[in-house]
Amino acid sequence: MHIFALLVGHMIRHVNMGARVKDCVSQIPVLDVEASIQPITRTVLRVVLKIQGTFKWNDRAHGKTGEPFWIWIEDPDNNHIYHSEYFMLHKKHVSFSFSEQLYCECVLLYTEITAFM
Contact 18, 10 (CB under 8 A): yes
pLDDT 10s digits, 48-85 = 999 999 999 999 889 898 999 999 999 888 888 999 99
Residue 108 in any domain: the answer is yes
pLDDT band at 1 (very low <50, low <70, confident <90, very high): very low
Instruction: Output b/e per residue, 21-46; b: 16+ Cβ within 10 A.
Output: bbeeeeeebebeeeeeeeeeeeeebe
Residue 20 in any domain: the answer is no
Mean pLDDT to the nearest integer, 110-116: 55
In the chain, the number of structural domains is: 1
Domain extent, residue 40, equals: 29-115
